[in-house]
Copies of this chain bind each other. A is one copy, B any other.
Amino acid sequence: MVRSNFNGRTPCRECPLRTLPVFVNKNAGQLEFVETFKSGEITVREGEAIYLEGVDSPNLYTILDGWAIRHRTLSNGQRQILNFLLPGDFLGLQGSVSRAMEHGVEALTNVRLCVFPYEKLFSLYVAHPSLGYDLTWLASREEFVVDGNLVTAGRRNSIERIAYLLLHFYERLEELNALRQGGRMDLPITQQHFADALGLSLVHVNKTMRKLRQTGMVSFEGRFVTVHDVKRLTALARADAPQLRRRPLI
């Protein structure tokens, strides 16, 4: 299903994720347990599936490096991106709901993953309750993100939606220390991905991005996006849709 390569194992104590807020405060015993829980590492290549929609999977994953999307596809090929997955995100908990995945996960870049066998999941709760608690926390945090995307799709207009998503990337990259000088971001996504995430058409995303560029808040050069004015972008992203509709930005 997934063409992938087994690489060398990174010991958890050297894991690049250990600097993230979620993963601090782990003691030696916990790290040791996670070592035994972990069954390996794999790399999934850009464009390939980590989970296929509707297919059962025996593994859970943590993203060590790279970007992915979680999405659902309608029968005509239209799809909705549910959220973007970045290093530190945990994948596969929804497998416990219906066993078969109701969403697909696809790599946007080459993605390096830490693999955990599903069958050992319960032993984690038994051996280290605090890790079980962390998993609940991760599930809630992801739901929190999806909540935000739902508000955006349901109640914001196109320019607000794009501002919202850019701001989301901005905040996440900041958290990962992956934001470059001057608010420059390297986003491995196309305008089609914006459309699929925001419930817009590709054409309308393109036209709206032009408008947004003309406000001076952001600039686009290929896959690089620079946020020049976080404050105004935030105001726009959270703004009340009706007000904006009445007073166009241009």
Q: Please pick, from B82, B129, B150, the residue contacting A132 in the complex, using a CB distance under 8 A.
A: B129
Q: Which of A38-46, A96-104, A185-193 contacts B (4 or more CB under 8 A)?
A: A96-104
A93 beta carbon closer than 8 Å to chain B: yes
**Residue in contact with A150 in the complex, picked from B94, B126, B137, B149, CB distance below 8 Å:** B149
Bound-state CA distance A124–B65 (Å) is 33
Mask for A70-111, Cβ within 8 A of B = 1, else 0? 001011101110100000000001101110001100000000
- Chain B residues contacting A137 (CB-CB under 8 Å) are 96-97
Q: How far is the CA of A126 from the CA of B199 in the complex (A)?
A: 42
Set B74, B78, B136, B142: member contacting A96, Cβ < 8 A:
B136
What distance in Å separates the Cβ of A193 from its nearest Cβ neighbour in chain B?
13
Given contacts A96-B140, A102-B147, A144-B97, contact A74 B155 (CB under 8 A): yes
A side interface size, CB within 8 A: 47
- Are the CB atoms of B132 and A78 closer together than 8 Å? no
Does A220 sit at the interface, judged by CB under 8 A? no
Contacts of A151 in B (CB 8 A): 72, 74, 80, 82
**Does any Cβ of B come within 8 Å of A180's Cβ?**
no
**Residues of B with C-beta under 8 A to A126:** 129
Interface residues of A in 234-250 (CB under 8 A from B): 238, 240-243
User: Residues on A close to B: CB < 8 A?
Assistant: 72, 74-76, 78-80, 82, 93-94, 96-98, 102-103, 121-122, 125-126, 129-130, 132-133, 135-137, 139-144, 146-147, 149-151, 153-155, 198-199, 238, 240-243
